[in-house]
Structure 1
Amino acid sequence: MTTSKHVETQAIHSGRINDEQFGSLATPLYQTSTFIFDDAKQGADRFAGEAEGYIYSRLGNPTTRQLEMRVAAMEGMEDAAATATGMGAVSGALLANLQCGDHIISSKAVYGCSYALMSHMLTKFGIEVTFVDMTEPENIENAIQENTKVIFLETPINPNMVVLDLAAIAAIAKKHDIISIADNTFLTPVLQQPGQFGIDIVVHSATKYLNGHGDVVAGIICGSSEMIMNIKMTALKDIGATISPHDAWLILRGLKTLPIRIERHCENAQKVAEFLEGHEHIAQVYYPGLKSHPGNKFIGSQMKAAGGVIAFEIKSDLKGGEAFINRMKLFSIAVSLGDAESLIQHPASMTHSPYTQEERLEAGISDTLIRISVGLEHSDDLIADLEQSLAQINNQDNHQDVA
């Protein structure tokens, strides 16, 4: 395993399996459900934890293990657990650390399914949740109860790109002996490492940038060895949200180019955001790379760059927003992010539809909010695509007025 502290090197070398038999440069794919024991005693010893080795791929697999070790190294954390989906990572991290009667504090706006899990699912089992505006850390302090066990957050927040102070939130969590969990999907360990600021557990939807090719759904949980073992041996083992070896193998392939992909995503997104901010039909742009964004002050300290996701409000209504999206030619209408292709979606009706309208407005998600994932195409072509659709907004409005 490499001892390099540079994420570009870790993305290629960390956790490498030593294939002594054949010397394969590429990671071997152990596409097997179960593993053969030399004898009955070896099987018994492995089940008892008295001997090292693999038993069954739901409990561990050499290909999966390489992925876990690589992402853990990139995040600067001790260990990691790979999961079947990003929500498998979120639910695994939460369920392993909660029980009936416990309380969660979450950032006010989070991914729609994370919100639904906490507000609709966990409450069925006697777990309370309070959503607060974490841009003011005192709101977290004020929400803490005797039974508060977890603080959950995203930064930047999906979809409106609010940036939270990781060090301040982690300090509050440690002061009150509360586990802190941060979703780092939008920035990846290339741009942000929440563990460096005291966050206990970091989760990713590996579906997004870590894989980067739009052909996998997966998740990753990073943390201390003790926390990861607890998550693996409880929530993941018994609920079964573990990754397939083939998906782990695909993500390992994607990770090798993650740093250079992220660089291009950021370059393109900055140019697109600057174009949108100056356009007459755009009411507001939410992108931390812009000096007008409150989160811009964190670039260079908490985060290296602003990432590849932009949200913006168009000067229109819900139907106008739908028409704007439908006119796009290079941007594919699709949820998710982090692919080579640029994507565009409408959070209120798509990714954040689990929110009620009142909950969306409370979280700052309006009906005219558009979210784009800026891909790896040439920035001039992406800007031209946005321009041709924006240019038709007045024509469409005039047509509707006549009609």
Structure 2
Amino acid sequence: MSDQKLATVAVRTGIDSDTQYNAVVPPLYLTSTYSFPQLGEVPTYDYSRSGNPTRNTLADALSTLEGGAGGVVTNCGTAAMNLLVSALLGPDDLIVAPHDCYGGTYRLFDTRAKKGDFKVCFVDQTDPQALADAFAQQPKLVWVETPSNPLLRIVDIAELCAAAHQAGALVAVDNTFLSPILQQPLALGADFVVHSTTKYINGHSDVLGGVLIAKTEAHAETLAWWANCIGATGAPFDAYLTLRGLRTLAPRMRMHEENSAKILAYLQQQPLVGTIYHPSQPEHPGHDIALKQQKGFGAMLSFEINGSMAQLETFVRELKCFSLAESLGGTESLICHPSSMTHRAMSDEAQAEAGLKTTLLRLSVGLEDPDDLIADLAQAFALAAKEAV
């Protein structure tokens, strides 16, 4: 791993590397194919699905930030997840996943398991006995999401990895909510780390992407082979845009967190706000673990409306500075209703098992002036309060 600080790695990777014209910013390689020097001599790059200089620069930057041996940039976060299970699991292999994971993750694992591609066990990973029972089934892979989406539950990565390894399983951690600036799962014992680079890493809600980073060179080589085999690699232009976003990741994360803390303090005083889910709160079950393994609490928070669905609908409808949309991590603030949006692929029973209520709202706090965000929330709450219960 580089001995440079993370912010420096995010900014400097690829800078001043052009040897042809000495461009400070690395050029974008849009070519689909490359010339062979001569018959029988295979060049470094032959076809852009297999390898591309722009995409590789992004992969190198993200791998360095996470302390990995290598990574594969994919066309979206779901593709990164699919790449991992395609490379590692067969029909008789078991993956243990959190019961409260992102809806798209649940859909992928559940659907492929029903096809017979592998087996899946969804468990409450904050329950030691549930985990022990799952590990007794000798899983091949354990999938971890911390903080979880959308309830921001926290699991002890180091403790879980130790138990999983003892059971003979590999561990992959979805680090999308925090980014490598605030959490580095590989240093805590994980074997793989996954990001939807669409979110904080790109940070501008204008490109899809994902990355899968391996702790060892052997696993990195396996993932690269499979990525080429199944066509999971990302487009060069998307990688170029993501590299541009990456260069401001560290200062963006600081401002996201600052704004989120102010929003949280405001929400704690509102009568229409019920339970708030954010690990910075001392009463949060994962607060002490978060202090130990994270460098910050992040900018995602969820809360339940302490009122009727009509009041929830009015509140969401009247917001002007929070767009009703899926995704997260962009410069703009978003509000999401998980049960009908990001997690609608889960059945009502699965949502209830995960503790996901229809009154839950999730905020991705952006980079607007926090006073404007709070004023917007205040006027929407005021109108919602007038709604008949």
Q: TM-score, normalised by structure 1?
A: 0.93
Give 1:305's aligned residue: 296
Q: Does 1:120 align with 2:120?
A: no
Q: Does 1:217 align with 2:203?
A: no
Q: Does 1:102 align with 2:102?
A: no
Give 1:401's aligned residue: none
Give 2:150's aligned residue: 159
Give 2:235's aligned residue: 244
User: Per the alignment, in what secondary structure is the counterpart of residue 307 of structure 1?
Assistant: coil
Distance 1:318 1:356, change over 3 A: farther
User: Per the alignment, in what secondary structure is the counterpart of residue 80 of structure 1?
Assistant: strand
Distance 1:241 1:317, change over 3 A: farther
Name the CA distance, whole Å, in 1 between partners of 2:301 and 2:111.
Answer: 28
Gapped runs of 5+ residues in structure 2? none
| Cα deviation 1:147-172 (Å, max 9, x = unaligned) | 51010010000001111110111101
Q: Does 1:227 align with 2:207?
A: no
Give 2:159's aligned residue: 168
Gapped runs of 5+ residues in structure 1? 47-52, 399-403
Distance 1:149 1:101, change over 3 A: same
Cα offset, 1:18, TM superposition: 2.2
2:369 to 378, 385, 395: 378
Name the CA distance, whole Å, in 2 between partners of 1:77 and 1:231.
Answer: 13
Cα offset, 1:133, TM superposition: 1.0
Cα offset, 1:309, TM superposition: 0.7
The answer to whether the 8 Å contact 1:110/1:158 transfers is: yes
Cα offset, 1:208, TM superposition: 0.2
Name the CA distance, whole Å, in 1 between partners of 2:233 and 2:338.
Answer: 28
RMSD: 1.5
Cα offset, 1:323, TM superposition: 2.2
Cα offset, 1:174, TM superposition: 1.3
**Farther off after superposition, 16-25 or 71-80:** 16-25
Paired amino acid for 2:329 = G
Name the CA distance, whole Å, in 1 between partners of 2:313 and 2:16.
Answer: 48
**Farther off after superposition, 170-179 or 203-212:** 170-179
Aligned positions of 1:1-400 closer than 5 A: 3-14=2-13, 16=15, 18-43=17-42, 53-223=44-214, 224-234=216-226, 236-397=227-388
Paired amino acid for 1:7 = L
Name the CA distance, whole Å, in 1 between partners of 2:141 and 2:181.
Answer: 26
Paired amino acid for 1:228 = A
Cα offset, 1:126, TM superposition: 4.4
Paired amino acid for 2:30 = Q
User: Per the alignment, in what secondary structure is the counterpart of residue 88 of structure 2?
Assistant: coil
The answer to whether the 8 Å contact 1:104/1:149 transfers is: yes
Paired amino acid for 1:231 = L
| Cα deviation 1:184-216 (Å, max 9, x = unaligned) | 000000000001110000000000000001110
The answer to whether the 8 Å contact 1:337/1:343 transfers is: yes
Cα offset, 1:233, TM superposition: 0.8
Distance 1:76 1:3, change over 3 A: closer
Name the CA distance, whole Å, in 2 between partners of 1:250 and 1:388.
Answer: 36
Name the CA distance, whole Å, in 1 between partners of 2:302 and 2:2.
Answer: 38
Cα offset, 1:275, TM superposition: 1.1
Name the CA distance, whole Å, in 1 between partners of 2:177 and 2:366.
Answer: 13
Name the CA distance, whole Å, in 1 between partners of 2:254 and 2:354.
Answer: 30
Name the CA distance, whole Å, in 1 between partners of 2:87 and 2:344.
Answer: 27
Name the CA distance, whole Å, in 2 between partners of 1:201 and 1:104.
Answer: 14
User: Per the alignment, in what secondary structure is the counterpart of residue 226 of structure 1?
Assistant: helix
Name the CA distance, whole Å, in 2 between partners of 1:300 and 1:31.
Answer: 43
Name the CA distance, whole Å, in 1 between partners of 2:291 and 2:24.
Answer: 36
Cα offset, 1:13, TM superposition: 1.9
Cα offset, 1:15, TM superposition: 5.1
Paired amino acid for 2:340 = S
| Cα deviation 1:84-108 (Å, max 9, x = unaligned) | 0010111111221101111111111
Q: TM-score, normalised by structure 2?
A: 0.96
The answer to whether the 8 Å contact 1:277/1:284 transfers is: no
Paired amino acid for 2:358 = D
Name the CA distance, whole Å, in 2 between partners of 1:339 and 1:228.
Answer: 29
Name the CA distance, whole Å, in 1 between partners of 2:323 and 2:364.
Answer: 10
Name the CA distance, whole Å, in 1 between partners of 2:282 and 2:381.
Answer: 23
Runs of 4+ in 1 over 4 A off after TM superposition: none
User: Per the alignment, in what secondary structure is the counterpart of residue 391 of structure 1?
Assistant: helix
The answer to whether the 8 Å contact 1:16/1:66 transfers is: no
Aligned residues: 388
